[in-house]
Amino acid sequence: MKRVLVVDDDAGIREVARLSLEVVGGWTVSLAEGGADAIEEAKLQPPDVILLDVMMPGIDGVETLQRLSHDPNTTHIPVIFLTAMAQTGERRRLEATSAVGLIAKPFDPLTLGKSIETILSGTLP
């Protein structure tokens, strides 16, 4: 079964995403509350994909992505941003990073897994 690491500082969103991906999507889900946790977890048990919130206290999403891609142990893991895309110009800023895709909040819990698969299939060689 494919493994996804969901990173979000909001407990409600983490739980909804977990249920949605496990029950509807058929993924194995691990959770992280912030950037530091996520980097630790990714090194320990590299997932197949990381679903990463952007606005988080401490190390934010963009910074987390940079650290992951500079680490040879995690640089290969595809990262998808999960964003409310509310800030002006945020979309453009995120598109300039090495993330493989964006999923907008609020997402549809019934199609979240599908959305991840669609993005990943588009990035395959």
Partner 1 sequence: MIPATLSPPGDEDSSARHDAEHGRAVAEERYQTLLESSPIGIFHGSFTGELVFVNRKWCEIAGRSLQRLTTPTWRSVIHPDDVELAERRLRRAFETGADFEEDFRLLTPLGEVRWVAVRSVPFSVTDERSVGRLGTMEDVSERRAAEDALQRSEELHRSVIESMTEGICVQAADGHLIESNPAARRLLGTPSGDLRDAAAVGADGTKLAKGQFPAAVALRTGRSCNDLVVGVQDPVKGRRWLTASSQPLRRGEARRPWAAVCTFSDITDQREIDRMKSDFVSVVSHEMRTPLTSIKGALGLVTSGATGELSDGAQKMMDIAANSTDRLIRLVNDMLDLARIESGQIALVRVDVNLGELLSEAVSIFCPVAEGAGIEIVVDQTNARVTVNRDGIIQTVTNLLSNAVKFSPSGSAVALAVNEHPTTDDDATIEIRVIDRGRGVPADQVDDIFVRFHQVDLSDSRDKGGTGLGLAICKSTVEQHGGRIWMEATPGGGATCVFTLPLSQPASSHKSSSGRTTDRHKRAGRS
For partner 1, the closer of residues 63 and 108 by Cβ is 108
Residue 89 as a binder of partner 1 (CB under 8 A): the answer is yes
Residue 78 as a binder of partner 1 (CB under 8 A): the answer is no
d(CA 79, CA 69): 9
For partner 1, the closer of residues 13 and 59 by Cβ is 13
Site for partner 1 (CB under 8 A): which residue of 2, 33, 36, 55?
A: 55
Q: Could you tell me whether strands 79-83 and 49-53 are parallel, antiparallel, or unpaired per DSSP bridges? A: parallel
d(CA 92, CA 96): 6
d(CA 77, CA 44): 13
Among the residue ranges 29-37, 38-46, 64-72, 83-91, the one whose residues contact partner 1 (CB under 8 A): 83-91
Q: For the CA atoms of 37, 65, 69, 40, what is the dihedral angle to 10 degrees?
A: 0
Sites of contact with partner 1 (CB under 8 A): 10, 12-13, 15-17, 19-20, 23-24, 55, 84, 86-89, 105-110
